[in-house]
Every structure is written in C-alpha cells, then in structure tokens.
Amino acid sequence: MIADIQEILVDEKALEKRVAELGEKITADYRGKYPILIGILKGSSVFMADLIRKIPIPLEIDFLKASSYGAEARSSGVVQLEADLSMDVKGRSILLIEDIVDTGNTLKYLLNRFESLGAADVKVCSLLDKPERREQRVIADYIGFEIPNEFVVGYGLDYAQKYRNLPFIGILKREVYE
C-alpha cells in the first residue's frame, strides 16, 4: 500500500494536533448545547472517532452513508443515500462530520435534507477541504486542512475501499486509479 503513495500530504502528528484544535473549538461553540454529531460513512469514521474523544461535552452520535463516488475516482454528481439515521433530528443542533469536501454535491444534498427534517441548525466539520473542485456553493464551518486538487487516501479516505487504514493523508499515485 505504501508503494502506491506518491507523497505524504498530512502526517500523523499534524493530524493529531489539528484534530485536538478542532475539538477545542467545537467544545467551545457547543458548550451548553446537546448536539448530534453525524458521521458520513465510511470516510469520516477514523476522523470522527478521534474527534469525539476531544470534545468533552454531552453529545450524541449517529451515522449515515451517502456517496456520489461509488468505486470511482471522480464524483458522478448523483448522491445516493445508502443508510439513514437512527434518530430524529427535529429541533436538534447537528454537526455533520465529513472526511473531505470537494465537489460539494453530497454536502449540499445533506444540508438540504437536514433542513427539510427540521434540524434547529446544521454545521459541518470536514477534515479536508478541496475548494478547487467545488461544484456546489457549500462551505464547512470547521476545516482541518485545505488541500490541493490531488486524489488523497488514508486516515479513513479510500480508493475502491483500500488505504483507509493508513495513519496519514497521502496523494495516491495517478497510475493506481487511472
């Protein structure tokens, strides 16, 4: 797997430091509230697991599975909701946990959906932001790292279900996915 990585973009120490900083900011912003943190599976799982341990306030977690990629390297633009929430979000503060915001298609779909479900407010925490790829006008409220327009894997992010267990964010060699 390591041989498929062109370059390490964000190493383990940088990830650990930034996740702690995000946790502090979210803790301050949500103190006195009882938010639901909703992880977008599967990519956000590693990030969310580390993040919630840095947020020492009462919270609930849930997950949903939505994708516009499938096993491809490029977004199809069509969002599929493959697994839904297990709880009611009406009147609740929601913090969506994303691995990466690039085209914005999935995020735009989810923001509209939570608004229609009656959430009190919805914010987004994304480990990575790739603004060069944006097709929808969406902005994450909390961003770990802004990255260039490269295909990245590791720390939960995958290509065809591989590389999620890498402890860093790395640029995947082009020949692997083309």
Find the CATH number of the domain harbouring 30.
Answer: 3.40.50.2020
Distance between CA 10 and CA 87 in Å, rounded?
A: 34
- Give catalytic residues, as residue numbers: 102
pLDDT at 32: 94
Structure tokens at 14: 């940088």
Q: Which two tokens stand for residue 31?
A: 């103190």
172 in any annotated domain = no
Mean local confidence (pLDDT), 58-63: 96
CA distance 71 to 77: 13
Residue 50, CB-side half-sphere exposure with 13 Å CA sphere: 21
Do the domain assignments include residue 176? no
Would residue 24 count as lying in a domain? yes
Domain count, the chain: 1
Which is nearest to 61 in space by CA: 92, 91, 82? 92
| Per-residue pLDDT at 75 | 52
Say if residue 76's pLDDT is above 60.
Answer: no
Is the pLDDT assigned to residue 70 strictly greater than 90? no
Percentage of the chain exceeding pLDDT 70: 93
* Full residue range of the structural domain in which residue 25 is found: 14-149
pTM, to two decimals: 0.90
pLDDT greater than 80 at residue 73: no
Residue 93, domain member (yes or no)? yes
128 within domain boundaries? yes
Distance CA 169, CA 64 (A): 23
163 has a pLDDT exceeding 60: yes
Q: How far is CA 44 from CA 39, 77, 87, 116, 178, in A?
A: 6, 19, 19, 23, 24
Average pLDDT rounded to a whole number, residues 125-151: 95
- Candidates 172, 157, 128, 174; CA nearest to 2 is 172
Residues sharing a CB contact under 8 Å with residue 141, sequence separation 6 or more, in sequence order: 123, 124, 125
46 pLDDT exceeds 90? yes
User: How confident is residue 178, by pLDDT bands cut at 50, 70 and 90?
Assistant: confident
Most distant CA pair in the chain: distance in Å?
49
Q: What pLDDT was estimated at residue 72? A: 53
> Looking at the domain assignment, is residue 7 inside a domain?
no
> Is residue 160 in some structural domain?
no
What is the percent of the chain with per-residue pLDDT over 90, rounded to a whole number?
83
- Evaluate whether residue 156 is within a structural domain: no
